[in-house]
């Protein structure tokens, strides 16, 4: 029951987030400060999601070089900088990750 409440609540919130500025009758505009703050939403929030995945696989801090998540992330960053291609970097770093796990 609670799960359905969460699902529908999330559905409503996400839709409102997407729709609110598409509504022509909405007179309010975000202040410049609010806009600047939201401009950091993508790097800020996405990084926060990545952090624990990369540094804490199996819920334990792992800063060793044989942590495949950490190594593959570095490879992914390198690939993006080098190739400038989002999709290619994703696929190659994932391939690297699975090879590494199979090898280690």
Partner 1 sequence: MPLSLATAPWGLLAGSMAIEANLTPLQGQGLSTIVFAGAAQLVAIGMLKGGAGVFSILLTTLLLTSQHLLYGMSMRHVISPLPGRWRIGLGFLLTDELFALTSQHDRQQFNRWYALGVGLTFYIAWNLFTLAGIVLGSSIPGLEHLGLDFSIAATFIALITPVVRNVPTVVCVAVSLFCSVLFSYWQWGSALVLSGLAGMMAGFVCNKLYRERT
Query: What does the binding site for partner 1 look like in residue numbers (CB under 8 A)?
Result: 2-11, 13-15, 17-24, 30, 33, 35-56, 61, 68-69, 72-73, 76-77, 80-81, 84, 86-87, 89-90, 93-94, 97-98, 101
Distance CA(74)–CA(93), nearest Å, equals: 9
Q: Please, are residues 70 and 62 in contact by the beta-carbon 8 Å criterion? A: yes
Give the shortest CB-16-to-partner 1 separation in angstroms.
Answer: 9
User: Cβ closer to partner 1: 23 or 66?
Assistant: 23
Give the shortest CB-99-to-partner 1 separation in angstroms.
Answer: 11
Give the shortest CB-65-to-partner 1 separation in angstroms.
Answer: 16
Give the shortest CB-81-to-partner 1 separation in angstroms.
Answer: 7
**What is the per-residue DSSP string for 2-20?**
HHHHHHHHHHHHHHHHHHG
Nearest partner of 36 among 25, 27, 47, 44, judged by Cα: 44
Those residues with Cβ within 8 angstroms of residue 94's Cβ, 6 or more apart along the chain or in another chain: 72
């Amino acid at each position: 029951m609670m799960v359905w409440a969460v699902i529908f609540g999330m559905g409503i919130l996400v839709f409102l987030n997407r729709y609110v500025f598409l509504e022509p009758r909405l007179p309010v505009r975000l202040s410049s400060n609010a806009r600047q703050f939201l401009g950091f939403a993508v790097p800020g929030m996405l990084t926060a999601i990545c952090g624990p995945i990369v540094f804490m696989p199996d819920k334990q801090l792992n800063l060793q070089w044989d942590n495949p998540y950490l190594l593959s992330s570095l490879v992914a960053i390198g690939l993006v900088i080098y190739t400038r291609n989002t999709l290619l970097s994703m696929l190659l770093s994932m391939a690297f990750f699975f090879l590494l796990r199979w090898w280690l």
